[in-house]
Amino acid sequence: MHITGSSFVGAGYAIAAWSIGDMPPLTCALAGGLCAISGMLPDLDSGSGSPLKESVAFAAALVPLLLISRLQQLGLPVEGIILFGAAVYLAIRFGMTWLLENHSAERGMYHSLPAALIAGQIAFLAYSSEDPLRRYFIASAVVVGFLTHLVLDEIWAVKLGLFGSKQKKAFGTALKFHGPEAWSNLLAYVLVIVLGAAAAVDASRTERLHVMRQQMEQAYRPLPVTQAPWQYRR
């Protein structure tokens, strides 16, 4: 249900950005795919079952792909990019699995609005582009996919019957700002602040480089040659 819902939302998000926002088709396709995959991310706290394994596998494959452009900007050769990506994949695939299985609670802070913001900030920092608008677009696609999962959880937490609607115990445990454990709440908001500061600094740098690049292109653009009033052709 979650991957289906986020896939439909991602497709609509990509089509709207291409038709209305004039985003490049490949960027729209990437954003739509990231939105679909992000619909599985809140299930990172689902215990040791299949949802956890699938969510971690998606995250482990997603992060190295987003890092490719940034690693290229750092000047790493192809071999270095492959090795670094493999190291990131292994760290997330096995390190995060162990951490979540031993130090997470179901419907905890991974099912929350701050967690959606953290996912978007990580995507923004991982993905690099000369156009700042593309970075915001990609990061927002991850947030939209994450939020789609949370909204569907709240919808399915309401049971409709002959005598009206009835809320299940799970109602209100997805779209929330804090969880039952104080340490996880503190960790989540610390990550929001730290990643937000890093994203703000990186966004400012990208904006400055983008403006400088536009100014240089305008400076080296040849001026149109116009004939003087007194010039004429024979």
Q: State yes or no: pLDDT of 85 exceeds 50.
A: yes
- Give the pLDDT score at 137: 92
Across 22-31, 93-102, 126-135, least confident range: 93-102
**Residue 233 within any structural domain of the chain:** no
Provide DSSP, 47-75. Answer: -SSHHHHHHHHHHHHHHHHHTHHHHHHTT
- Give the pLDDT score at 159: 62
Q: Rounded mean pLDDT of the chain?
A: 79
Higher-pLDDT residue of 233, 180: 180
pLDDT digits 0-9 by tens, 192-206: 999 999 999 888 887
- pLDDT exceeding 90 applies to what percent of the chain? 18
Across 100-104, 141-145, 207-211, least confident range: 100-104
The structure tokens listed for 91 are 């760290």
- d(Cα 93, Cα 95) in Å, to the nearest integer? 6
pLDDT digits 0-9 by tens, 53-83: 777 777 788 788 888 888 887 788 888 888 9
Q: State yes or no: pLDDT of 162 exceeds 80.
A: no
**Residue 13 within any structural domain of the chain:** yes
Its domain, for residue 188, covers: 2-219
**Residue 227 within any structural domain of the chain:** no
- Give the pLDDT score at 225: 55
**Residue 173 within any structural domain of the chain:** yes
**If you average pLDDT over each of 89-93, 156-160, 164-168, which comes out highest?**
89-93
Q: Please tell me the total count of domains within the chain.
A: 1
The structure tokens listed for 40 are 């599985």
Provide DSSP, 71-111. Answer: HHHTT--HHHHHHHHHHHHHIIIIIIHHHHHHS--TTSTTS
**Residue 95 within any structural domain of the chain:** yes
**Residue 175 within any structural domain of the chain:** yes
**Residue 231 within any structural domain of the chain:** no
**Residue 225 within any structural domain of the chain:** no
Q: State yes or no: pLDDT of 19 exceeds 70.
A: yes
- Give the pLDDT score at 232: 47
| DSSP H or E segment with residue 2 | helix 2-19
